[in-house]
């Protein structure tokens, strides 16, 4: 029977952690890539932006300073002179963005005026080691040049500090995003898994219902056909009810002695036992219901019911394919009149050669035949049947089956009484 564990979910449960891991790994990779690209993009963007802003802001500054100096009437830039002081004041008072500075150098590049010239000393040569020139303007009359420098933006600490801050923020955002989406993915996968299991359970239940319906139909049809055959020579078909009950009782008792007997065996036996005499449909009424003893020819015809039944069932098996129930039904129909010592029919096989199901039905059939009324004999008492079956131990019947019968003989008697029309009941 189908259960929750065998509805395909084990494979899904194996795949689920793999799926979750793959999704989280993909998310991590995407966020890491975004983080890397974001930080690098930010640094490049800041550097470009800074350079552009400083260049724009200082554009024209050099020319403006040159014009201011020219208009102020400065004739010389000799350090210490009054004109130099005025030029130096102009340079010092400039407030340029981004750390930019304006300076005045002579033709050799020696600083004449510089915002920090008073502290650094005169005559130092401009060495823009950590600065870059962003503008120049000549002072033709003074044989000098105004230059504007700005701090290099190629590796300023500020930019990288800002980049580190942005990096940290992106990383934190990534962790939060990863956590939220991870929880979301887990919830969705879990929801999907629950839904899948629910659908699987519903499908399994539906399949089970359909299978049980088919089995009920099959069992009902088999039993109906068997009863049609049995109506002709027994008590309106009750014989089959008793045979099936007796066979099931014996099989349950024989479980320890015969490990091949399991629930499926017993269920099949319960149904297959009803078909044991289905071959009697091929026996004429004049023989089947003859009140007196049969002639030798009539008896040969009567014995053929075993092979007729088996052949009929084998024809069905050829159409529908192998089936444990059909296999057992054929064994029972063909061999239920075989005897343990090999004196039975139709093949005269003995001992374990006789299928176990047929050995069980043989004892059940004989018990019922003895205790039932027939057109050719009266019903005999239960004790008489018990004595005959015990006497047949190792001759007619499998010893283990007789042992089982003797241990459930009382239950046989009760079942025989309850499953028999009162008018046919033996004393």
Burial of residue 102 (CB within 10 Å: 0-12, 13-18, 19+) is: buried
Instruction: Judge contact between 349 and 325, C-beta under 8 A.
Output: no
Residue 110 pairs in a beta bridge with 125
**CB closer to Fe ion, 2 vs 301:** 301
Smallest distance from the beta carbon of 276 to Fe ion, in angstroms?
6
At its nearest, how many Å lie between Fe ion and the CB of residue 8?
46
Q: Which is nearer to Fe ion, 241 or 365 (CB)?
A: 365
Q: How far is the CB of 400 from Fe ion (least distance, A)?
A: 21
Query: Which sign does the torsion angle of CA 276, 281, 282, 286 carry?
Result: positive
277 counts as binding Fe ion under rule CB under 5 A: yes
* Interaction between residue 331 and Fe ion (CB under 5 A): no
Which is it for strands 101-106 and 131-139: parallel, antiparallel or unpaired? unpaired
| Interface with Fe ion, residue 338, by CB under 5 A | no
Strand order in the sheet with 131-139: 111-113, 101-106, 144-151, 131-139
Taking CB under 5 A as the binding criterion, the range among 21-29, 117-125, 128-136, 357-365 that sits at the site for Fe ion is 357-365
Q: What is the helix (H) or strand (E) element at residue 101, kind and residue range?
A: strand 101-106
Q: Where are the alpha helices (DSSP H) in 231-342?
A: 238-253, 263-272, 285-288, 296-303, 305-320, 324-335
Judged by CB under 5 A, how many residues of this single chain contact Fe ion?
2
Q: Whole-number minimum distance, CB 277 to Fe ion, in Å?
A: 4
Residue from 365, 366, 370, 396 binding Fe ion (CB under 5 A): 365
Q: How far is the CB of 427 from Fe ion (least distance, A)?
A: 22
Per DSSP, the three-state class of 136 is strand
Closest CB to Fe ion among residues 130, 236:
236
Q: Which helix (H) or strand (E) holds 139?
A: strand 131-139
Q: Identify which range of 190-198, 220-228, 363-371, 409-417 contacts Fe ion by CB under 5 A.
A: 363-371
Which pair of tokens denotes residue 43?
């640094």
CA distances from 174 to 162, 178, 186, 248 (A): 18, 6, 18, 70
Minimum separation from the CB atom of position 212 to Fe ion (A): 29
Nearer to Fe ion, 101 or 242 (CB): 242
Taking the complex as a whole, the smallest distance from the CB of residue 365 to Fe ion amounts, in Å, to 4
Q: Quick one: 114 or 276, whose CB is closer to Fe ion? A: 276
Task: Identify which range of 115-123, 125-133, 296-304, 358-366 contacts Fe ion by CB under 5 A.
Answer: 358-366
Cα 391 from Cα 410, distance rounded (Å)? 18
Residue 235 or 365 with smaller CB distance to Fe ion? 365
Point out which residues bind Fe ion (CB under 5 A): 277, 365
């Amino acid at each position: 029977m189908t259960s929750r564990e065998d509805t395909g979910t084990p494979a899904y449960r194996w795949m689920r952690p793999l799926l979750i891991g793959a999704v989280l790994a993909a998310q991590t990779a995407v966020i890491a890539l975004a983080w890397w690209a974001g930080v690098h993009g930010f640094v490049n963007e800041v550097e470009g932006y800074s350079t552009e802003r400083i260049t724009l802001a200082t554009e024209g500054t050099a020319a403006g300073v040159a014009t201011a100096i020219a208009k102020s009437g400065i004739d010389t830039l000799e350090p210490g002179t009054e004109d130099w002081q005025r030029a130096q004041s102009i340079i010092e008072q400039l407030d340029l963005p981004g750390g930019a500075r304006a300076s005045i150098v002579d033709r050799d590049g020696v600083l004449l005026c510089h915002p920090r010239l008073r502290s650094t000393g005169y005559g130092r040569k401009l060495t823009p080691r950590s600065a870059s020139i962003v503008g120049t303007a000549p002072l033709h009359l003074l044989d000098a040049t105004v230059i504007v420098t700005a701090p290099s933006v190629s590796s300023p600490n500020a930019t990288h500090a800002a980049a580190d801050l942005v990096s940290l923020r992106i990383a934190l955002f990534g962790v939060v995003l990863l956590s939220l989406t991870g929880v979301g993915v887990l919830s969705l996968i879990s929801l999907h898994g629950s839904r899948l299991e629910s659908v699987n359970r519903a499908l399994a239940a539906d399949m089970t219902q359909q299978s049980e319906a088919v089995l009920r139909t099959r069992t009902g049809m088999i039993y109906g056909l068997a009863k049609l055959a049995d109506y002709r020579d027994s008590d309106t078909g009750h014989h089959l009810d008793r045979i099936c009950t007796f066979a099931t009782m014996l099989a349950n008792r024989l479980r320890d002695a015969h490990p091949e007997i399991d629930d499926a065996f017993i269920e099949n036996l319960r149904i297959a036992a009803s078909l044991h005499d289905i071959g009697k449909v091929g026996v004429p009424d004049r023989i089947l219901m003859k009140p007196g003893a049969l002639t030798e020819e009539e008896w040969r015809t009567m014995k053929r019911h075993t092979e007729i039944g088996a052949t009929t069932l084998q024809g069905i098996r050829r159409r529908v394919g192998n089936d444990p129930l059909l296999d057992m039904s054929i064994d029972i129909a063909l061999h239920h009149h075989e005897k343990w010592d090999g004196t039975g029919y139709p093949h005269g096989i003995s001992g374990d050669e006789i299928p176990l199901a047929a050995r069980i039905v043989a004892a059940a059939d004989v018990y019922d035949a003895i205790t039932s009324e027939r057109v050719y004999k009266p019903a005999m008492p239960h004790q008489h049947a018990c004595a005959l079956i015990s006497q047949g131990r190792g001759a007619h019947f499998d010893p283990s089956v007789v042992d089982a019968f003797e241990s459930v003989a009382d239950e046989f008697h009760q079942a025989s009484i309850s499953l028999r029309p009162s008018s046919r009941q033996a004393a």
